[in-house]
Structures are given as structure tokens and as C-alpha cells.
């Protein structure tokens, strides 16, 4: 709606009494952790675990061990961060967790049972339990598919193939509402017509429809501004509270990992050098690599010692 | 009083879109930097940080156009100069600009030493190859870069090394102002620290006389620059020293930014992380009043319709808001208590 004000300049305006988009989001603007903050997850059942998981790449005569005998135990409802610099093997590990890459050695357990994804049907079944949000929302969508199709696919995957149009519509409205998007504005649009933040929120709407047990989020906020980051984090946390989802964060943002996680794994050259509660790992690091990593992050209350680098 | 290295007065530049619409992405920006000082520019994406950096060079090419205002570098007015003149007499010697992702700009078919020759040639300096080589070696050694890097191709260097090489090459003529746009955001924390250390060393030893540092990473700005300026929708909304801006921001937008900082320090886990809802306005039709009003929780109707001037409320501190500083501080204090 365009109205003219005293100065004669055209301006998008909102009638008094009607809420703007910004105000609608007001009640959601800060991150709330629910009851799961500082909970002890080690008593929860195991969701995903791995023993001696290794992945080796061969290029010509060069052998690269991207992930080197890592062990991990992710519990139900836990929020895990895997932190490492580029080249530490984070992405290779996440691909193995998703079943996009086979480990060269070692085994991944899903609900305590060895994971079996040997056939396409078994893989699809596994993917009902684990889903991912990737770093770059701009390249996560098929640009020829409308947003409706993106959401319909999710409903179909959850066994909603025979639902009526109306039921589907209601589900889509609910999913979009969960991430503060208006379905009416999205329908019949293509993903590239949205902003980066909206695309990432649509990704979360997908997850809301799929309700996987495990969500693997690979740098979900690194392409988004710090000030809209809180909204995305809040939505992920709310999703976890509502569905008991396990969230695995892959990130190099150490501040973020410290703030949000229940447990942190620090990765260096394909190995976990340290893991544990964020307070322990980040504030009293023991491994030399973790110490260096923490000291290299610029902080605001402690001085940043520049003399430690060549 | 220290000498002013850069004085920008009411600079306005615009993009002209294919449809012929004007987008004023830098709107009456005034700033100044003294010799030996650094200024950080913060703001979310799309608020005009990078356009400001481009505009400060005085080197305009479509769709970016100069509208009004002046840029004075060390007493020399560079506004309105022909782009060719700017390239030969201003860039490199007065102003060096390091764009975003500069480390990917190195031609992979040429050795690093060649880039330095190019810079010297472009400025038509009377130096032969041997002198250039000597100068390059000295500079690399001084900045702690391996001299062997001069004989390497850019692809043989790591990302952090490439970025440092780019900075070393672009500052070889000791510019008065170095404008760095996100010089370290694509790097790991350790490489980032090396880049920052080199830049700070260059400023401290006078190889560059002043520095503008653009990034959205606030903890980094806080550690690197003397002053921080926050931009929103093409305008400056607040300026102050780095410490004041991080611990005592006045403008609601700056406060929102500062409250989104997450650092691995004790106490971070107890912080209430808040988001600024909504998105920046479309600058094709900028709001008549405060540009932040639509997203501001303290906005009144007056905010929406009255143009906001930028006001100085303490030495070196300016802000652009309809509320008084005392009022804002009171509101913030009562919020913090909750």
C-alpha cells in the first residue's frame, strides 16, 4: 500500500492498528532455550553413534585421510556442535552421517543398530530419520520447482500422498507460520524470489513438515546476518523442544557453538581432539589445538593477543 | 591536533538501475580519519557498506554514479576527477582499496612479483625491473612474508597467504588511506589473525597512514579499529570509539547489532540473544522519516515521518535517532534489569 505523507514522498505505510511484519515477529525476537538448557543428555537413548569411522580419499598417488577413526555418541534431543577449521574433515563427516558417502572403515550406528543403507529404498527410509540444512540457501533449492512443490515433496515423504488438497494446504500454512513466513505470499513463487533469510527459514519449514529425528545443520547461519541469526537459532531450538529432535551443528563459528550447544566436538585433521560440555571445552581447553583456536578468536572482554601468530 | 588523512563531506552516490530508477545507497555520509587511526564500518548486508567503500575511492563506473559531496585525501580534493586520472594519480598512492574476496582476484597465470611490476608501471614511476624487485623483496621481508612468494603463482599459496600478498601488493606505494572490505571473512581464525596483525603493523609503522575496515564481524572490529561507525540503509546512524560502541551503543540499531555478538567467553551462555526483526527498507523508495523506524521497537509516529538529522551528543560521538540519548539510556537500563 502506498500513501503520500506531508513531505509528498511515496512510502510503504501501514494503517494504524494493523501490525507490520516486523511487529508480528516481535514476540519471537529472542532466543529461548526452553527446559533443555544445561540438561544432562547422557542418560537419553543413543540416537546416532559411530565407532572408528574413517574416510580415505585417493587422488592419483596421494592418499588423504579426511576423517580418521572418530568415535561419537549423539543422544536424543541433544544439540551437538562439531567445530573445526576448513580442511578438518567436517564436511566429509557430515556426508557420511547423511549417508551420502560410505565410510572406508568403521561403522555408524542408528538407534544402536548398525546402519543399513545398502539399497535406494533403505536410504530413503533412513532419510526420513535424518535431514539436513546446508550453508548456502541459494544453492539448496531446485530453481525449476515452485515453493509449493518443495513443501509437497516433504508431505509426500512423510506418507501424506493421499491427503486431500485442503489438508495439504493447512499443513503448508502451519509449516510456513512456524517460521514466520506467510504461505499466501509464497505460493506460486520460485525459491529465488525470496531473500537469503527467507530461504533458510523455508528450509526450516521443510524440516518442520518432515520432523526428522536428527537434523544436520551445516553452517546454517554463516550466510545470514548476525542480527537475523537469532531468529533462525530460535526456530531450530523450538523445533527441538517440540519434537525432541537431535541437532548436529557443523560450524567454524566458535562463539556460536559455545552459546548454543549441549556438547562440543573439536575436530582437527580428521580427528576429534577434544569433546565435552561447552563450558569445559571452551573455557578450560586442554588440547593444544583447542587452546590455539580459542585464543585466535577475537573477543570483547579479554584482550586479543596478536603476538601468537607469525 | 593530528592531521586529517581523509575528510568526506556529505557524500551521496547512487546506482541507476536498468529501469532508470535511482537508488541512493550512500546518502549524505560525512566522516573523517586522522593520521594513524583506523575506522571500522559495521552494518548488516545490504546497508551500503561496500558501496561506501567504492564511493570513497572517487572512481565511479556505471551503475554507480556520483551525486554530491566531497572527498578530500590529505588536503587533496579528489571529487569530480576523471576516472582515468583517479586511477593514475589517486588509486594506489592516495587510496588503496581491497575488495571483498580479493584473494581470488590474482591472475593464476602470473607470478606474484609481476603484480608489483604492474602497479609500478601503472603509475609510470621511473624504476627498472631490478629496483622494483629490490623494493618488493624489502617490503615482503618487512611485512614478514616469505620473499620466495614473489616467484610463486597465486595458486601455490594458501588462502591466508594470498590475502596477505594482495594487501602487500596494493599498499606497495604507501597509500594514505587503506580501505579493506571484509579482508578476512573467508579465512580461518588463525589466518584471519595473521592478516589482521599485518594490517595493524602496517598502520603502526606508517606504511599506510590510515585505515577503513569494513566487516560485519563486530568482535573483530572491536579489536582492530579505533572508531566504529554503524551504517543502516545508506546512512550513518552512529559513530563512536570502538569501546563506546560495543559497551554503550545509543542507537537502537547499533544496540541490536551489539547484542548479537557471540564470543567464546565466560558469561556468553547467559546472554539473551535477540534478533532485529524484519529487513532493511528498499532504497528505491526510502522512508521519509527514520529509516530504521519500521523495525524499531521504540519508534513513534514522529519517527516515521520526520527526517532524522545526525547529531553530536558527546565529543566524537554522533547518532541519528528521534529520541534523546538520556531517554534511550533509561529505556535500555530498565530493559537490562528484566
pLDDT tens string A215-228: 999 888 777 777 67
Task: Tell me the pTM.
Answer: 0.84
B199, B218, B275, B291: which to substitute to probe chain A, counting the most A Cβ within 10 Å?
Answer: B275
Of B144, B260, B277, the CB nearest to A25: B277
Q: Enumerate the residues of chain A whose CB falls inside 8 A of the CB of residue B100.
A: none
Task: Please state whether A34 falls in left (phi above 0), alpha (psi between -120 and 50) or beta.
Answer: left
Q: What is the pLDDT of residues A71-123, one digit of tens each?
A: 999 999 899 999 988 888 888 999 999 999 999 999 999 988 899 888 989 99
Give residue A222's pLDDT: 74
Closest-CA distance, B263 to chain A, in angstroms, reads: 4
Q: One digit per residue, pLDDT tens: chain B, 338 residues?
A: 688 999 999 999 999 988 888 988 899 999 999 999 999 999 887 788 889 998 998 888 888 999 999 999 998 999 888 888 888 888 989 999 998 888 788 899 999 999 999 999 988 888 899 999 999 999 999 999 999 999 999 899 888 899 999 999 999 999 999 999 988 877 888 889 999 999 999 999 999 999 999 988 889 999 999 999 999 999 999 999 999 999 999 999 999 888 888 888 888 888 888 878 777 888 888 888 899 998 888 988 888 888 889 999 999 899 999 899 999 999 999 988 87
pLDDT of A29 reads: 62
**C-alpha cell at position B93:** 598512492
Residue of A nearest to B146 (CA): A310
Lowest mean pLDDT: which of A58-62, A167-171, A305-309, B53-57? Answer: A305-309
Q: Which of B301, B304, B300, B310 is nearest to B286 (CA)?
A: B304
Dist. CA B167–CA A9, nearest whole Å:
44
Contacts of B224 in chain A (CB under 8 A): 298
Rounded Cα gap, residues A197 and A229, in angstroms: 9
Q: Out of B264, B282, B295, whose CB is closest to A254? A: B264
* pLDDT at residue A26 tops 80: no
Q: Which fold has domain B4-337?
A: Rossmann fold (3.40.50)
A243 to chain B, closest Cα gap in Å: 23
Which of B188, B266, B278 is facing A25, going by the closest CB pair?
B278
Q: Does B333 touch chain A (CB under 8 A)?
A: no
Domain ranges of chain A: 44-298
- Ordered by start, the domain boundaries in chain B are 4-337
Q: How far from A100 is each of A8, A70, A263, B152, CA to CA, in Å?
A: 58, 18, 24, 37
Residue B274 and residue A230: Cβ atoms within 8 Å?
Answer: yes
The helix, strand and coil proportions of chain A, stated in percent and rounded to the nearest 5, come to 40, 25, 35
Q: Are B305 and B289 spatial neighbours (Cβ–Cβ below 8 Å)?
A: yes
CB contacts < 8 Å between A and B, how many? 158
Is residue A20 very low, low, confident or very high in pLDDT (cuts 50, 70, 90)? Answer: very low
Secondary structure letter of residue A224 according to DSSP: S
Whether the Cβ atoms of residue A35 and residue A241 lie closer than 8 Å to each other: yes
CA–CA gap between residue A203 and residue A224 (Å, rounded): 13
C-alpha–C-alpha distance, residues B177 and B93, integer Å = 9
Provide the CATH topology of domain A44-298: Rossmann fold (3.40.50)
Query: Rounded CA gap, B325 and B73, in Å?
Result: 33
Confirm or reject contact between B266 and chain A (CB < 8 A).
Answer: yes
Q: Which of B281, B288, B297 sits opposite A7 (nearest CB)?
A: B288
Alpha carbons B299 and B315: distance in angstroms, whole number: 26
Contacts of A236 in chain B (CB under 8 A): none
The per-residue pLDDT for B113 is 92
Distance, in Å, from the CA atom of B33 to the CA atom of B318, rounded to the nearest integer, reads: 15
The predicted structure's pLDDT at residue A7:
39
State the pLDDT at residue A17.
37
pLDDT at B1: 62
Strands A46-59 and A105-110 come out as: antiparallel
Backbone angles phi, psi at A87, to 5 degrees: 85, 5
Which residues of chain A lie closer than 8 angstroms to B273, CB-CB? 30-31, 229-230, 233, 259
B307 to chain A: nearest residue by CA?
A7
Cell 566522516: give the residue.
Answer: B31
**What is the spatial distance between Cα A195 and Cα B45, in angstroms, rounded to a whole number?**
12
Amino acid at each position: 500500500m502506498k500513501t503520500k505523507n506531508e513531505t509528498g514522498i511515496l512510502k510503504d505505510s501501514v494503517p494504524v492498528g494493523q501490525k507490520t511484519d516486523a511487529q508480528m515477529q516481535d514476540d519471537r525476537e529472542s532466543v529461548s532455550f526452553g527446559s533443555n538448557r544445561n540438561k544432562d543428555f547422557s542418560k537419553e537413548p543413543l540416537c546416532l553413534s559411530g565407532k572408528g569411522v574413517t574416510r580415505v580419499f585417493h587422488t592419483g598417488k596421494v592418499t588423504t585421510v579426511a576423517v580418521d577413526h572418530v568415535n561419537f555418541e549423539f543422544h536424543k534431543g541433544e544439540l551437538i556442535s562439531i567445530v573445526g577449521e576448513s580442511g578438518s574433515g567436517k564436511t566429509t563427516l557430515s556426508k557420511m552421517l547423511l549417508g551420502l558417502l560410505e565410510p572406508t572403515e568403521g561403522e555408524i550406528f542408528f538407534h544402536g543398530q548398525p546402519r543399513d543403507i545398502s539399497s535406494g529404498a533403505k536410504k530413503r527410509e533412513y532419510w526420513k530419520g535424518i535431514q539436513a540444512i546446508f550453508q548456502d540457501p541459494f544453492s539448496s533449492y531446485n530453481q525449476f520447482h515452485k515453493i509449493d512443490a518443495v513443501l509437497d515433496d516433504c508431505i509426500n515423504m512423510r506418507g501424506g500422498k493421499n491427503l486431500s488438497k485442503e489438508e495439504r494446504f493447512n499443513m503448508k500454512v502451519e509449516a510456513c507460520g512456524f517460521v514466520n513466513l506467510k504461505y499466501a505470499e509464497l505460493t506460486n513463487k520460485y525459491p529465488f524470489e525470496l531473500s537469503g533469510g527467507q530461504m533458510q527459514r523455508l528450509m526450516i519449514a521443510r524440516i518442520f513438515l518432515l520432523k526428522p529425528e536428527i537434523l544436520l545443520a551445516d553452517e546454517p547461519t554463516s550466510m545470514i546476518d548476525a542480527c537475523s541469526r537469532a531468529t533462525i537459532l530460535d526456530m531450530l531450538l523450538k523445533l527441538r523442544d517440540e519434537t525432541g529432535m537431535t541437532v548436529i551443528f557443523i560450524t567454524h563459528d566458535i562463539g556460536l557453538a559455545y552459546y548454543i550447544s549441549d556438547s562440543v566436538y573439536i575436530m582437527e585433521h580428521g580427528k576429534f581432539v577434544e569433546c565435552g560440555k561447552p563450558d569445559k571445552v571452551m573455557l578450560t581447553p586442554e588440547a593444544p589445538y583447542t587452546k590455539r583456536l580459542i585464543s585466535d578468536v577475537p573477543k570483547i572482554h579479554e584482550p586479543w593477543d596478536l603476538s601468537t601468530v607469525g | 591536533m593530528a592531521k586529517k588523512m581523509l575528510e568526506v563531506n556529505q557524500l551521496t552516490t547512487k546506482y541507476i538501475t536498468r529501469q532508470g530508477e535511482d537508488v541512493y545507497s550512500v546518502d549524505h555520509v560525512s566522516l573523517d580519519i586522522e593520521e594513524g587511526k583506523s575506522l571500522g564500518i559495521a552494518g548488516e548486508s545490504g546497508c551500503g557498506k561496500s558501496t561506501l567503500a567504492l564511493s570513497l575511492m572517487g572512481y565511479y563506473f556505471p551503475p554507480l554514479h556520483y551525486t554530491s559531496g566531497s572527498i578530500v585525501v590529505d588536503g587533496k580534493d579528489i571529487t569530480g576527477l576523471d576516472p582515468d586520472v583517479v586511477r593514475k594519480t589517486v588509486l594506489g598512492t592516495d587510496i588503496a582499496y581491497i575488495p571483498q574476496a580479493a584473494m581470488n582476484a590474482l591472475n593464476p597465470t602470473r607470478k606474484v612479483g609481476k603484480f608489483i611490476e604492474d602497479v609500478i608501471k601503472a603509475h609510470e614511476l621511473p624504476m627498472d625491473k631490478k629496483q622494483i624487485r629490490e623494493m618488493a623483496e624489502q617490503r615482503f621481508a618487512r611485512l614478514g612474508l616469505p620473499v620466495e612468494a614473489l616467484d610463486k603463482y597465486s595458486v601455490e599459496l594458501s588462502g591466508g597467504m594470498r590475502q596477505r600478498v594482495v594487501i602487500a601488493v596494493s599498499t606497495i606505494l604507501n597509500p594514505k588511506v587503506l580501505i579493506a572490505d571484509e579482508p578476512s571473512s573467508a579465512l580461518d581464525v588463525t589466518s584471519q589473525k595473521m592478516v589482521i596483525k599485518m594490517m595493524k603493523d602496517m598502520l603502526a609503522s606508517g606504511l599506510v597512514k590510515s585505515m577503513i575496515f569494513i566487516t560485519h564481524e563486530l568482535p573483530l572490529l572491536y579489536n582492530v579499529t579505533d572508531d566504529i561507525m554503524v551504517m543502516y540503509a545508506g546512512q550513518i546512524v552512529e559513530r563512536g570509539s570502538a569501546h563506546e560502541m560495543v559497551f554503550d551503543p545509543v542507537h537502537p540499531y547499533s544496540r541490536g547489532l551489539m547484542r548479537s555478538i557471540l564470543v567464546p567467553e565466560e558469561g556468553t551462555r547467559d546472554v539473551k540473544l535477540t534478533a532485529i526483526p524484519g529487513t532493511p527498507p528498499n532504497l528505491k523508495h526510502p522512508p521519509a522519516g527514520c529509516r530504521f523506524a519500521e523495525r524499531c521497537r521504540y519508534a513513534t509516529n514522529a519517527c516515521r515521518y520526520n527526517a532524522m538529522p545526525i547529531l553530536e551528543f558527546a565529543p566524537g560521538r554522533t547518532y541519528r535517532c528521534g529520541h534523546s540519548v538520556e531517554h534511550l539510556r533509561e529505556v535500555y537500563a530498565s530493559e537490562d534489569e528484566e
